[in-house]
Amino acid sequence: MADDAPDHPLDRLHPVGGPLLGLGIGLAPAAVIGAGYPLLGAGIGCGLAVAGLVGARRVEVSAPVEEAPALPVIPGWSAEREEPSSAPAPEVIPESEHRPALIAVAPGVHVIGSPEGEAGRLSWDMPRREVTLTRGYLIAETPVTQAQYAAVMGRNPSYFQGTPEDARRPVEQVSWLDTATYCNRLSELEGLKEAYVIKGTDVRWEDPEAGGYRLPTEAEWEVAARAGATTATYVGDLDILGQRNAPILDAIAWYGGNSGSAHPKALDSSGWEGKQHPHTQASTHPVKGKRPNAWGLYDMLGNVYEWTWDWYASTPPTAEADPSGPARGGWRVIRGGSFDDNAHRVRAAFRIWWSPGGRYWVLGFRPVRSTPRVRP
């Protein structure tokens, strides 16, 4: 269980003082990002009122599941086979001032986790296995930016702010509860049924047909990060030459080896060992500054860690269909690595834990929306 987690590995990586806030173990409410979006292939500017949840998630309070409406045609997958097809990649639903663009991910069977012998592999990585997602989902093209978060929440909590380009940097210093609250508020703005019920610090995902925004499950996050790849990153495996030096990461991720910055609040990186490129200061960077994966998703690795729905367990979930983590715990899972990380952490299978009330300059998020399951 999460309460039995070892000393947090990130604590050993961040000796520099800074805005490390609210690391209590208690849950914090999260905002629901339910926003409408134009139907794919139809150009209709309204949101789906009913959407099926992608992953089999923890559901504290069950609700009857009504018959879902038929999905619009989504390029890239077959409703009959519920598996990836050879059709072109899904079209992007344009971003708004409140959220990033959205990209469709097909239901189907996907390979996730790291195999034995993968460079940088750790004992708590997601193990290699197949996972079935029975519903498709829409995932944000990038992490939520500072401008988008402020447009919904009315404030910008980020540490790295103060320059004109900061509006396009990922928002950070957001707790798990902050992100859930954002999701609900965004859902309200776009006329969608909220995915979460939030009462104080208690957040419940009760209605599997709610069409609003939410956080991805661990499995959903990794499926999207890989975009069909089975290697450590979506462009291949790591060749780790130094603590912060894996050349293949340079084109796809901001990490400790290449995140040099002249930002006025940049961290002192002069003591970071084994960097791919020399730098003495480092920070987050504006989104979409590196190469996207095959599905058009940016910053899935590096820049900021991303909150997921799942509670942390030392042994990841083994459910073959729609895994969603333990029913309870003390830590939520974060994924993807960050701008100040060692190379071995910037892999699709790497997972780590954080207090849901914690805020830090490496913590951001990207929301998802479920799409209705196509029924036979």
pLDDT tens figures, 256-293: 999 999 999 999 999 999 999 999 999 999 999 999 99
Asked if residue 44 has pLDDT above 50, the reply is no
Length of the chain: 376
pLDDT tens per residue, range 294-348: 999 999 999 999 999 999 988 766 667 888 888 899 999 999 999 999 999 999 9
Predicted pLDDT at 264: 97
Q: Region 45-71: what's the mean pLDDT?
A: 30
Could you tell me how far CA 284 lies from the centroid of its own chain?
A: 16
Could you tell me how far CA 315 lies from the centroid of its own chain?
A: 20
- What are the angstrom distances between the C-alpha of 26 and each of 176, 195, 215, 330, 332? 10, 21, 18, 7, 11
- What are the angstrom distances between the C-alpha of 142 and each of 13, 22, 68, 72, 116? 25, 25, 28, 24, 30
Could you tell me how far CA 40 lies from the centroid of its own chain?
A: 22
Contact 244, 343 (CB under 8 A): yes
Measured CA to CA, the distance from residue 323 to residue 218 in angstroms comes to: 8
Q: Percent of the chain at pLDDT above 70?
A: 73
Q: Percent of the chain at pLDDT above 90?
A: 64
Measured CA to CA, the distance from residue 273 to residue 340 in angstroms comes to: 11
Helix, strand, coil percentages in the chain from 3-state DSSP, rounded to 5:
15, 20, 70
Q: Which residues pair with 330 in a beta bridge?
A: none
CATH number assigned to the domain covering 1-376 = 3.90.1580.10
Predicted pLDDT at 31: 31
The phi-psi region of residue 191 (left if phi > 0; otherwise alpha if psi is between -120 and 50; otherwise beta) is left
Q: What is the mean pLDDT of the chain?
A: 79
List the structure tokens of 295: 């599905």
The more confident residue out of 9 and 84 is 9
Element (H, E) at 347: none
Residue 285, amino acid? H
Residue with tokens 């609210």: 22
pTM to 2 decimal places: 0.78
Q: Which of 217, 194, 221, 222 is nearest to 29 (CA)?
A: 194
Task: Tell me the DSSP string of 28-86.
Answer: ---B------PPTTT---S--SB---SS----SS--PPPPPPPPPP-TTEETTTTEE-S
